Amino acid sequence: MNSRDSEHMIAELREKENYEVIDNFAEADLILINTCSVRERPVHKLFSELGGFNKKKKPGAKIGVCGCTASHLGEEIIKRAPYVNFVLGARNVSKISEVLHRDKAVEIDINYDESEFAFNDFRSSPYKAYINISIGCDKSCTYCIVPKTRGDEISIPDSLIIQEARKAVNAGVKEVFLLGQNVNNYGRRFSGDQEKVNFSELLRRLSKIEGLERIRFTSPHPFHMDDEFIEEFSTNPKICKSMHMPLQSGSTKVLQDMKRGYTKEWFLNRVFKLKSMCPEATISTDIIVGFPGESDEDFEDTLDVMKKVKFDQIFSFKYSPRPETEAEHFTNVVDEEIASARLTVLQSLNNEIIDEKNTTQTGKVYRVYFEELLKDYFVSGKSDNNIIVKVKGSDELLGQFRDVKITSIGRTILTGEVVA
Ligand code: 5AD
Ligand code: SF4
């Protein structure tokens, strides 16, 4: 989402202010830092980075701090780093060309309505297009700062989404990547008068676009994985068969304390429904260890879900207390060392699972969409089910689909050769 917000800001600045993106910040007239605040560490990093930028920037160059940390710290950023020229929250991206001309501007209204704002166009990849389908989040997961930085959830009208997808396809893009905090809650609330369209219907409408070959999305919420959604996912050939299912914890008790709205059993039920309808689907997840009150038994439940599901990819984190969240006040804190040890156990179990899965990969053939040039004359791309594959080749493969036979295995990337 931050990448897409950056693209939107670049688009506005190019169209309205004649700016261009350059590589060397020491020569820039404007330095924008787009921030995350989901965990604490990037917030500390912001202030050390800011100091560095201020020292090395060109005289007179402006510095703007944008994104979720801007939303939650607001004016404090200018107090701590007085050379910062403006602060622009994650929900105020469309005001970029305005704050640029107001020194010390702080725009952080978390319920500002950008849902119908038609941004100018800028895409960092000619092959795939990120498209926002909603802004904000209506959930209240007790560990999460996002509702405080991105505000209430509003869906973007389907007509605008389809228009954006069409425009991207006309420019040569073959894959769209739909973005929202809870994509499968799409349609819950629109800001204007608009026909009720749910996520499955949005997917059906998008898949009618000629020339659009692949649709990806993130993140769906396990709570909203109803049968209609799983069936649409499984049967619509344009939808890429990789599902992100953020588990967070395998313990029903911890899930309750996190206010996730589902149980261990519901999560497993949805996974097995998905696996039975779509055996080729890969599943990725997010897991937090060391949430307040997480006992050894609770953690065992998380390992149990991992063994049952055998995720294809996990993003795992130690719980990080965040300001203005409910869990910040929970007192049954898990010892730092215990949390670190659990993270190690979780990650080594994941490595075992991935290594075991990889033993069957050699010789398989995947349809790969090539997107990136790597070092040593390799080109990489993804299979429909999100497996990253590289082959020897050059830029003529970029933006092309090819059948690739896997010849050797790595944990994060497989190597293969083009067979058709
Ligand atoms: N501490 C650790 N991880 C967190 N996440 C969100 N908030 C926190 C927190 N306070 C993780 C969740 C989420 C992912 C984007 O970041 O797993 O799915
Ligand atoms: Fe945060 Fe929960 Fe919303 Fe995801 S669903 S952004 S974890 S509050």
Nearest CA to ligand 2 atom 1: 144
CATH code (residue 230): 3.30.750.210
The pLDDT of 87-104, averaged and rounded, is 97
Ligand 1 centroid to Cα of residue 2, in Å, is: 15
Q: Which ligand minimizes its atom distance to the CA of 150?
A: 2
Q: What distance in angstroms lies between residue 139's CA and the mean position of ligand 2's atoms? A: 6
> Are 168 and 232 in the same domain?
yes
Report the share of the chain in percent with pLDDT over 90.
Answer: 98
pLDDT tens-digit readout, 352-373? 999 999 999 999 999 999 999 9
**Residue 264 — pLDDT band, cuts 50, 70, 90?**
very high
- Cα(409) to centroid(ligand 2), Å: 34
* Interval 100-145: pLDDT, tens: 999 999 999 999 999 999 999 899 999 999 999 999 999 999 999 9
The whole-number pLDDT of residue 43 equals 84
Residues 89 and 147 both lie in one domain: no
The residue range of the domain holding 35 is 2-107
Q: How buried is 37 (Cβ within 10 angstroms: 0-12 exposed, 13-18 middle, 19+ buried)?
A: buried
Residues 139, 91 within the same domain: no
28 lies in a domain? yes
Q: With contact defined as beta carbons under 8 Å apart, do 288 and 302 qualify?
A: no
**265 pLDDT exceeds 90?**
yes
Amino acid 298: pLDDT: 98
Q: What is the mean pLDDT of residues 63-70?
A: 97
Task: Mark whether 182 and 128 lie in a shared domain.
Answer: yes
- CA of 39 from ligand 1 middle (Å) equals 7
Please list every protein residue whose CB sits less than 6 Å from any atom of ligand 1: 38-39, 143-144, 246, 248, 286, 288, 317, 319-320, 322
Q: Note whether 210 and 138 are same-domain residues.
A: yes
Q: How many other C-beta atoms can be found within 10 angstroms of the C-beta atom of residue 164?
A: 20
Closest ligand to the CA of 258: 2
Do 130 and 97 reside in the same domain of the chain?
no
* Ligand at shortest distance from the CA of 221: 2
Q: Are residues 229 and 178 in the same domain?
A: yes
Tokens linked to 141: 């997961």
Mean local confidence (pLDDT), 83-95: 98
- Is 321 domain-assigned? no
In a domain, 193, yes or no: yes
Q: Is the pLDDT of residue 31 over 90?
A: yes
Confirm whether 346 is domain-assigned. no
Domain end residue (candidates: 240, 267, 282): 240
pLDDT at 404 over 90: yes
Distance 238 CA to ligand 1 centre (A): 30
Closest ligand 2 atom number to CA of residue 144: 1
In a domain, 33, yes or no: yes
Residue 66 contacts by C-beta under 8 Å, 6 or more apart in sequence?
5, 9, 32, 33, 34, 35, 87, 88, 89, 90, 93, 96
The pLDDT of residue 41 is: 86
Query: Among 218, 240, 262, where does a domain finish?
Result: 240
Ligand 1 centre from 136 Cα, in Å? 16
Which pLDDT belongs to residue 273?
Answer: 98
Q: Based on the domain organization, do 51 and 135 belong to the same domain? A: no
Is the pLDDT at 42 greater than 90? The verdict is no
Cα of 198 vs centre of ligand 1, distance in Å, is 26
Among 189, 224, 240, the domain boundary falls at: 240
Residue 60, classified by CB atoms within 10 Å of its CB into exposed (0-12), middle (13-18) or buried (19+), is: exposed
Mean pLDDT of 84-108: 97
Q: What is the pLDDT of residues 209-254, one digit of tens each?
A: 999 999 999 999 999 999 999 999 999 999 999 999 999 999 999 9
Residues 73 and 141 in one domain: no
- Enumerate residues lining ligand 2, CB below 6 A: 137, 139, 141, 144, 146-147, 181-182, 221
> How many Å lie between the centroid of ligand 1 and the Cα of residue 37?
10
Same domain? 230 vs 154: yes
Pocket test for ligand 1, best of 1, 69, 140, 144 (most atoms within 8 A of CB): 144
CATH of the domain at 96: 3.40.50.12160
337, part of any domain: no
Ligand that lies nearest to the alpha carbon of residue 261, given by its number in the listed order:
2
Q: Report the distance separating Cα 25 and Cα 18, nearest Å.
A: 17
Indicate if the pLDDT at residue 313 is higher than 90: yes
What's the whole-number mean pLDDT along residues 53-76? 96
Residues 83 and 177 in one domain: no
Burial class (CB in 10 A: 0-12, 13-18, 19+), 54: middle
pLDDT at 271 > cutoff 90? yes
Tell me how many domains the chain contains.
Answer: 3
**What's the CATH code of the domain at 370?**
2.40.50.140
To test the pocket of ligand 1, the residue of 2, 139, 286 to mutate (highest count of ligand atoms within 8 Å of its CB) is: 286
Nearest to 167 by CA among 135, 120, 205: 120
Do residues 302 and 350 lie in contact, with contact meaning Cβ atoms separated by under 8 Å? no
User: Which residue in the block uniquely carries the two structure tokens 């105020």?
Assistant: 92
Q: Atom 5 in ligand 2: which residue has the minimum CA distance?
A: 139
Average of per-residue pLDDT across 315-335: 97
The verdict on residue 225 lying in a domain is yes
Q: At what angle do helices 199-206 and 227-235 cross, to 10 degrees?
A: 20
Q: Which ligand is nearest to the CA of 142?
A: 2
Q: What would the 3-class secondary structure string for the chain be?
A: CHHHHHHHHHHHHHHHHCCCCCCCHHHCCEEEEEECCCCCHHHHHHHHHHHHHHHHCCCCCEEEEEEHHHHHHCHHHHHHCCCCCEEEECCCHHHHHHHCCCCCEEECCCCCCCCCCCCCCCCCCCCEEEEECEECCCCCCCCCCHHHHHCCCEECCHHHHHHHHHHHHHCCCCEEEEECCCHHHCCCCECCCCCCCCHHHHHHHHCCCCCCCEEEEECCCHHHCCHHHHHHHHHCCCECCEEECCCECCCHHHHHHHCCCCCHHHHHHHHHHHHHHCCCCEEEEEEEECCCCCCHHHHHHHHHHHHHHCCCEEEEEECCCCCCCCHHHCCCCCCHHHHHHHHHHHHHHHHHHHHHHHCCCCCCEEEEEEEEECCCCEEEEEECCCCEEEEECCHHHCCCEEEEEEEECCCCCEEEEECC
Nearest CA to ligand 1 atom 14: 286
pLDDT at 411: 85
Q: Is residue 210 included in any domain, yes or no?
A: yes
98 shares its domain with 131: no
Q: What is the pLDDT of residue 44?
A: 86
How far apart are the CA of 354 and the centre of ligand 2, in A? 27
